Amino acid sequence: MILRRLSQSLKQQSWTAIWIEFVLLVVGVFLGIQVANWNEQRVEDSRARAYLVRLQRDFNTDLQSIQRREEYWGKVVNYGKQAIHYVETGERVDGSAWKTVLAFYQASQIFQWFPADATYQEMRSSGELGLIRDQTLRDAMSRHYAGTASAAYLYAFQPEYRKIVRGLTPQLVADYIWAKCVRTLSPDQQYLLECDPPISDAEAQAVLDVYLRDPRLLPELRFWVANQGVALNIKYYKPILRDLLARAKAEAKP
């Protein structure tokens, strides 16, 4: 309509009307562009907040899963050291052959860890990391996930010791340990428990004697205990994740 009036004014050479209608046209175009930009920004802000909510969930998931692995791996290392002590000194755990057998077996347990990085990887692959306005947060996430990727082998390692000791353990004993000495509530909730012996002390000692006759067992156990000791440095991710979580919360505020 404005263009029609502008055209009519030009024919009539009504310059005042021409300028008014031209200004109205320019203002209308400008406002249209601004509204379009505003709508686009609103959509981007909505996507950014959705990502930030998911990132916060991932950070919290990692904090919980790391805490569980600290506790679990710490027990595995302790069991491993008890077993090594028996091999080196002949001293059984609390004087019990069964507790010593349990130490050998539980030292073979694994509880692999993979970071909850699905949201970050999705944003990275789709080129939407720029939706996060906080450059410090983007850089911190990049460093964190690069670090976890480089250490992935350590947290997912399956030791040769695991195969050796389980191959030497009687099936009755192994079944009992899984039924009574290990509790699994979910794939990310596993616990190692103390449990009563299913066999006599003499039978447990016979199992220990079998363990000691395999020359591969002690070197592989020492290696695995050392590996898990290094893996426990996973605790250093916790302050990083808490900082990421705080930044993501601040960024998500309207």
What is the full DSSP assignment across 48-100?
Answer: HHHHHHHHHHHHHHHHHHHHHHHHHHHHHHHHHHHHHHHHHH-PPBTTBHHHH
Look up the domain containing 151 and give its range.
2-252
Q: How confident is the model at residue 35 (pLDDT cuts 50, 70, 90)?
A: very low
Distance CA 86, CA 92 (A): 6
Helix (H, G, I), strand (E, B) or coil at 4: helix
Q: What is the pLDDT of residues 58-85, one digit of tens each?
A: 999 999 999 999 999 999 999 999 999 9
pLDDT over 80 at 41, yes or no: no
The predicted model scores a pTM of: 0.83
In the structure, what pLDDT confidence band is assigned to residue 46 with cuts at 50, 70 and 90? confident
Identify the pLDDT of residue 88: 97
- Is the separation of the CB atoms in 110 and 203 below 8 Å? no
Average pLDDT of every residue of the chain: 88
| pLDDT tens sequence across 15-34 | 565 555 555 555 555 545 55
Euclidean distance between CA atoms 68 and 90, whole angstroms: 32
Q: How many structural domains does the chain have?
A: 1
